Structure formats: C-alpha cells, structure tokens
Structure 1
C-alpha cells in the first residue's frame, strides 16, 4: 500500500461573497454588508436578510460605498475571517 502524497492532499474551497462596505473601522479593516434573499417557508415570499462581515484590507484600496468581493481565509483576528479580494464597483 504505497500512498501518493499528492492524492491525500485535499483542495480547500473558500467562500466568496459580494457586498457593500458600510464602515472602515481600522486602518486595515472594513465592514462589508452582504445581502441574501430567502424564501419564507409558510408565505412563500422572498425577503432580504443582511449580515455584516469584518474583512481584512491590506492595501487600503476599499472605501465606504464600494462594492467588493471578499474571500474566506484563516482567522486573522477575533472577528476577521475574510479578506478583500477585489473592488467590483467604486462608490460615486
């Protein structure tokens, strides 16, 4: 039973979310609001829920009102588990 080390390595798929920056709390931290649509189980109506994620912005490229893509990563701090991957749309 020879095991090839390449076969045992699993590729980790990180979540990517798109949202709008609502605040810049620190030098390298931004708060991103991600809106998702859900269906009510009884009334069968769509409604919008939102959740805020703290994301790491190493280069300081994102500002309030920008639409960004954040990607899941290892824990950077107590609340930060995402980093800013790219800015999709700048605020006007």
Structure 2
C-alpha cells in the first residue's frame, strides 16, 4: 500500500525534532452542496530542526517514532 503524502503549514516547533503541521482539506457537503474546509493537526519528525512556524511542508507516513508521531517531513 502506498504511503500517503500530505502538505500543510507548520503551526508549532517548540519540541526537539518534532513539528506540528496543520493540514486543510476541502470537500463539498453532501446535502448543502457548500464547500467545507476542515483542518487536522499532525505531529511530524523533523530530524534537523530545519522547519519553523509558518513554513509550508510536505509530510509522509512512516513507522511510529513515538506515541503521537507517525509522520516525517520530506526535505524540500
């Protein structure tokens, strides 16, 4: 099964080797037919502490680094 790749904005970089990425998705509401925006936060592994708050990054699924980290940053 292929690994998912998501893109979003870094919303937090306070922890060592970890960033919080907010990923927004848009879809049409099934009944109202209105475009809805939903966002979800993912914690991703950033080995070099290269990314700061506000950066646009891509993350890929990986084996678990910790209880909450299941993603890692693709170097861009």
Same fold (TM over 0.5): yes
TM-score, normalising length: structure 2? 0.94
Runs ≥4 residues deviating over 3 A: none
Structure with the larger RCO, 1 or 2 (CA within 8 Å, 6+ apart): 2
Gapped runs of 5+ residues in structure 1? 1-11, 88-92
Of Structure 1 and Structure 2, which has the larger fraction of its residues in strand?
2
TM-score, normalising length: structure 1? 0.79
Of Structure 1 and Structure 2, which has the larger fraction of its residues in helix?
1
| Structure having the higher Rg | 1
Partner of 1:7: none
C-alpha distance after superposition, 1:28-84 (max 9, x if no partner) = 000000000011111111110000000000011100000000000001100000001
Which of the residues 37, 47, 70 maps onto 1:81? Answer: 70
How many residue pairs get aligned? The number is 76
